[in-house]
Structure 1
Amino acid sequence: MRNFPTHFWKRFQDHKERTAFITASSGKQPGEETYWEWTRRVQRLALGLMATGFEPGTRVGMVAPNSQAWLDFAFATWLIGGCVVPLVADRERRETLRCLARSGCDWIVTRDQRARLDLRGQASSLPDHLQWVVLEGDDEGVSGASNVHTFKSLEEAGRDRLRRGGLNALAERTYGLDAKLAALILFEPEPGPDPHAAYFSGGRLAIMLEYLSRDLALEDDSCLAVLLSYGWLSAPLFTLAALLNGHTVAMAATLSELNASLSSLRPTHLVCGPAFLEGQSSRWRQRIEAAPEFLRRLADPDAEGTFDTLSRAMGLVGERAAQKLIYEPMKSEFGGKLRSIYVWGGSVPDDVYDILDHAKIEVLGHFGFAECGVSHMEHPGARRRHSVGRPVHGYACKIAGAKAEGTGEVMIRADVLFDGYWAGAEGPREVDEHGWLKTGAVGHIHSGYLFLGDAPSST
């Protein structure tokens, strides 16, 4: 297979007229940008990085929070052979530095100069060779520091090289990259005191994203809303898979801004965590409690005599009235087009499932590990409550030593498992002689769906 940047660049050119991003902006209409407009900026950034002496194989620690600039910089890094290391912003400083060291990062990307100084520390003992990039702010805040670059300065340097015929040099670099070059390093969502950096070659990453995009099954009108700073490895992987196939990604700077902008972003799919839905559910409950008694019983699965009440209420007002008075206003808060919500781990309370089912929004669980990416997903019309779904295309799963639907260690096999831990380090998971990844997680399989934790007792 061709290398990763050649693979995605060809895809982006095929989709150049489509909308790549819809970005929330406080107090304004969301901004839109086509693939053509976006990839021109990525080109300029890549050329700007080349001007600094950036070499293939360089690891870049992405400590900045969610933003389109994050994606711009990640793809510019890949375009010239760099390796992206996504890290959750605003984690404890020591934990972040430990992850950066374990993955051998030579470049570190932060939100702004203040975040850079906080990470660096007052009496910094960090290596002098480190290069820094701040995504927000101008050159004034970093003047005089040769190892600190701004997003704007890199783009401007790239624009200058473009005027002087630098595009040929970029093309030569991109097309000449080895598909086996490391492209992505993943850590667990909670790295802990002993983090392990699982790395993937560009060739494997390209295949992994193709598998994932096939299972996402997004349509031409699909729009995926996501926050890259959630902390689950699925957030960047879902985003990359959507972009690889020419879909639109809706973004906001923060969780609160995403929540406030959903009605204008109008996504069809949303990637979030259980906490986001639990925060929404309190407002939904208030709306249900303000409804007439018979509609409240129709909406509330915990109400005594729910199913008898449901039959009577349907005879009185029918499902359509409940939709108009309760569920359509809920759906409009998500923009009115939302069809699916992807939730890491599938750990959603039953009452949230019930409310969203009535609103015709499907909650879809998914799961994975740093060593294999997203291995399991539920699909519209094919889901089980509290499961994390069936194996993604190209993956297989079994429970070690379990018979029928017994509980045991979750084992995963695929041709896109990680290439190893960075620098040959030993880690908590290993692949056996038959190609099965020993995850250490406990689960059980029922009708092909993976459930994390012990199987329910049959007694």
Structure 2
Amino acid sequence: MHDPALAPRAAAPLTGGLADSLFETAARTPALPMLARRPAPGSSAWQEVTAVEFRDEVVDVAKGLIASGISPGHRVAILARTRYEWTVFSYALWTVGAEVVPIYPTSSRDQVEWILRDAGCVAVVVEDEQSVMTVGSVCAQLPSLRHVWQLDAGAVDTLRARGEFLPYETVDSMRRIVLPDSTAVVAYTSGSSGRAMGCALSHRGLAGPCDTLLEGWGHTVAPPGEQGAVLAFLPFSHVYGLMIQNLCVRGGLLMAHEPATTEEALGAALRSFRPTYLYAVPSVLEKLYKNFLRTAQEAGRGALFERAADTARDFAAALERRRLGRGPGPGLDLRLQHSLYERTVYRRLRTALGGRVRRATSGGSPLSRELALFYEGIGVYVHDGYGLTETSGGLTMQPYGREKSGTVGQPLPGMEIRVADDGEILVRGPSLFQGYLGDEAATRAVLRGGWLATGDLGHLDDENYLAITGRKKDIIITSGGKSVAPAALEQRLRMHPLVHQAVVVGDNRPCVGALITLDPQFLSHWRAGLALQGDTPAREAREENALREEVARAVAAANSTVSRSESIRVFRVLPEPFDVSNGLLTPSMKLRRDEIVRTYAFEIEAMYEARSHRRPRTVPEEPAAWEDADNVFFR
């Protein structure tokens, strides 16, 4: 059962809007650094922005918004990457009672048009000239749109000048009439299985989970006496990114922005800003792990890294057993091994994250227990978080001192979670959304007697820890009637350094199959390490065979975690990754499964056809669960 002694109190109820916390912090501690920004793009230096400076800039932009006719209840879209001005504009809009409509900068023209039209936006903040052109191309279909402000063309200065004549009191009086249950954000779902729907989220709903987390876990963000520091690089277009922003502002944490998500840009920002807490998604943590491995292999220390990684996982698992009262903790030999690798390996890995990170949160999709244990073992405990757009962000958290990897923790105070007979997770509490914009039928379909049907599958253990097993709509049913949740298989496949993406298929098929894409960076590194001899045709053939066997090992490892009837029997390696640009990923980087199956219908058919006509062959020595798998490439 849930131990109430481990749970913090629910935070005090909100009395105003989201912008109030900024104004209160500026009045109480005006010199507190709240934001950090680069003096120039690509710079490794960071300039701190104090609470009073941040507030004053928000007030200046708010004046310009008022002078431009933006009133309480107006909806204004922000179509931009995660950058300093995003935070300024969102707080300025909340100050005047307007509603923020986030749009992914990777959204297509049609997606942009749909959101702006569906939300009835009166203005849009865009980042660059390309975005201006995108919005301009659909303006004829948007009768409500009156303003387009471009950040790279000086939108902040433009609005500051436009509202210069207004007194501070005008802004402050508008802020004070914003009510907690007013809509603050209309966040559109990713649209992985249809047209995106706008979730109306209130100021109270967005503030509640943040305040509860700060109340109970704020002390874990930084060592005692230090101000917490967070590098925001996840998109504010997603509720997870918005939650990070609000956590920082409400908690007085120093927040920096990194708009570029390339490996080089993110790595440089982590090393120069040196955050104390890391918010990420599983794909980022998987990529970091693979980069650690690749770097070690390139230096001739690949075997050392793999031994250190195994020790880290064993050490973390022993620590977990001790804190859960199920074992004595790491033995002497394990402690000695871990101490050795701390000096030679783990400390260097933490340096790549800036050197100050000790805890982290992963969200957006489930994080594998294996990866969570690795990070804990090197000294960075990663909590796997759970939440939805419809819940305004986080629903669960690991009780401090009783963390259990492989789960997403226990419900936050004030939130209730139960699991339906079919395994679907149902939740209720004060942070639930106000409904889908203009779609009462869709709202009623997911709200059942006050409980939100999440569409996620999972289970609660006897200590009330929640584990996520997949999405209800993603369940595969083979022609033999076997139900298979693809998430765990896909997650395990991605743990292999060569595997970039994986989609498990098999609906109405005799067995489970997989479509796989390869990590281009690791593939280049792997090829360079083969050092095959001979003429070009023979060398390429041997390389292809070696690659076939390596991917087969990844499939074998994934199959070893499931029953034989759930294992992958056929797979195909695709020539290009799933991407937003080819319509196979949502703007939030989720797989568009139905579209992937349609796009690769021919390859899927050929994959199963090849299996049905295959001749007996010798199978490499691998776990028994892999013994019947076919390795089919499409190169």
TM-score range, shorter chain: 0.7 to 0.9
Determine helix, strand or coil for the equivalent of 1:297: helix
1:358 corresponds to 2:387: no
Mapped to 1, the partners of 2:207 and 2:453 lie a distance apart of 23
Determine helix, strand or coil for the equivalent of 2:143: coil
Mapped to 1, the partners of 2:240 and 2:442 lie a distance apart of 21
2:125 corresponds to: 109
- Residue 397 of structure 2 aligns with an amino acid whose one-letter code is M
Mapped to 2, the partners of 1:204 and 1:231 lie a distance apart of 17
Structure 1 residues 378, 119: CA separation in 2 closer, same or farther (over 3 Å shift)? Answer: farther
2:186 corresponds to: 185
How far did 1:72 drift? 0.2
Determine helix, strand or coil for the equivalent of 2:403: coil
How far did 1:231 drift? 5.4
Aligned with residue 259 of structure 1, among 263, 267, 271: 267
Q: What root-mean-square deviation, in Å, do the aligned CA atoms of Structure 1 and Structure 2 show?
A: 3.2
How far did 1:83 drift? 0.7
Higher deviation after alignment, 343-352 or 11-20: 343-352
Determine helix, strand or coil for the equivalent of 1:29: coil
Preserved contact between residue 411 and residue 439 of structure 1 (Cα < 8 Å) = yes
Structure 1 residues 300, 207: CA separation in 2 closer, same or farther (over 3 Å shift)? Answer: closer
Mapped to 1, the partners of 2:269 and 2:232 lie a distance apart of 12
Preserved contact between residue 122 and residue 145 of structure 2 (Cα < 8 Å) = yes
Aligned with residue 409 of structure 1, among 407, 410, 424: 424
Aligned with residue 291 of structure 2, among 262, 273, 283: 283
Preserved contact between residue 457 and residue 469 of structure 2 (Cα < 8 Å) = yes
How far did 1:232 drift? 3.8
Structure 1 residues 234, 12: CA separation in 2 closer, same or farther (over 3 Å shift)? Answer: farther
2:584 corresponds to: none
How far did 1:337 drift? 0.6
Residues 323-380 of structure 1: per-residue CA shift (max 9 Å, x gap): 1211111100111110122111453345533432222001111121222122123355
Mapped to 2, the partners of 1:10 and 1:337 lie a distance apart of 29
Preserved contact between residue 136 and residue 151 of structure 1 (Cα < 8 Å) = no
Q: State TM-score, norm by structure 1.
A: 0.84
1:20 corresponds to: 34
Mapped to 1, the partners of 2:308 and 2:279 lie a distance apart of 28
Aligned with residue 59 of structure 1, among 62, 75, 89: 75
How far did 1:385 drift? 2.9
Residues 391-435 of structure 1: per-residue CA shift (max 9 Å, x gap): 12221101023xxxxx611111102222222245432553333x2
1:337 corresponds to: 356
1:31 corresponds to 2:50: no
**Structure 1 segment 21-420 matched on structure 2, within 5 A:** 21-24=35-38, 25-121=41-137, 124-127=140-143, 129-138=145-154, 150-158=155-163, 160-161=164-165, 166-190=167-191, 192-217=193-218, 218-219=221-222, 220-229=226-235, 232-256=238-262, 257-289=265-297, 290-291=300-301, 296-300=306-310, 318-345=337-364, 347-373=366-392, 374-378=394-398, 381-401=401-421, 408-420=423-435
1:147 corresponds to: none
Determine helix, strand or coil for the equivalent of 1:364: strand
1:404 corresponds to: none
Residues 207-265 of structure 1: per-residue CA shift (max 9 Å, x gap): 34322433542455211222241754211112202211211112212123232211111
Determine helix, strand or coil for the equivalent of 1:28: coil
Mapped to 2, the partners of 1:452 and 1:102 lie a distance apart of 32
Preserved contact between residue 20 and residue 246 of structure 1 (Cα < 8 Å) = yes
Higher deviation after alignment, 100-109 or 349-358: 349-358
How far did 1:13 drift? 2.7
Mapped to 2, the partners of 1:236 and 1:227 lie a distance apart of 11
How far did 1:292 drift? 8.4
Mapped to 2, the partners of 1:192 and 1:151 lie a distance apart of 37
Structure 1 residues 230, 301: CA separation in 2 closer, same or farther (over 3 Å shift)? Answer: farther
Mapped to 2, the partners of 1:294 and 1:330 lie a distance apart of 13
Preserved contact between residue 308 and residue 345 of structure 2 (Cα < 8 Å) = no
Mapped to 2, the partners of 1:296 and 1:179 lie a distance apart of 51
Choose 1 or 2 for highest CA Rg.
Answer: 2
Structure 1 residues 131, 231: CA separation in 2 closer, same or farther (over 3 Å shift)? Answer: closer
Percent identical pairs in the alignment equals 21
1:145 corresponds to: none
Determine helix, strand or coil for the equivalent of 2:446: coil
- Residue 15 of structure 2 aligns with an amino acid whose one-letter code is R
Moved over 6 A (4+): 310-313, 454-459
Q: Could you list the runs of 5+ residues in structure 2 that have no partner in the other structure?
A: 1-13, 318-329, 471-484, 486-560, 565-635
Q: How many residues align?
A: 433
Preserved contact between residue 196 and residue 427 of structure 1 (Cα < 8 Å) = no
Structure 1 residues 240, 79: CA separation in 2 closer, same or farther (over 3 Å shift)? Answer: same
- Residue 151 of structure 1 aligns with an amino acid whose one-letter code is V
Structure 1 residues 201, 194: CA separation in 2 closer, same or farther (over 3 Å shift)? Answer: same
Preserved contact between residue 123 and residue 146 of structure 2 (Cα < 8 Å) = yes
Structure 1 residues 273, 179: CA separation in 2 closer, same or farther (over 3 Å shift)? Answer: closer
Higher relative contact order (CA 8 A, sep 6+): 1
Q: Could you list the runs of 5+ residues in structure 1 that have no partner in the other structure?
A: 139-149, 402-406
Determine helix, strand or coil for the equivalent of 2:385: strand
Preserved contact between residue 17 and residue 34 of structure 1 (Cα < 8 Å) = yes
Q: State TM-score, norm by structure 2.
A: 0.62
1:422 corresponds to 2:430: no
Determine helix, strand or coil for the equivalent of 1:161: coil
Preserved contact between residue 459 and residue 466 of structure 2 (Cα < 8 Å) = yes
Structure 1 residues 369, 235: CA separation in 2 closer, same or farther (over 3 Å shift)? Answer: same
Mapped to 2, the partners of 1:392 and 1:55 lie a distance apart of 34
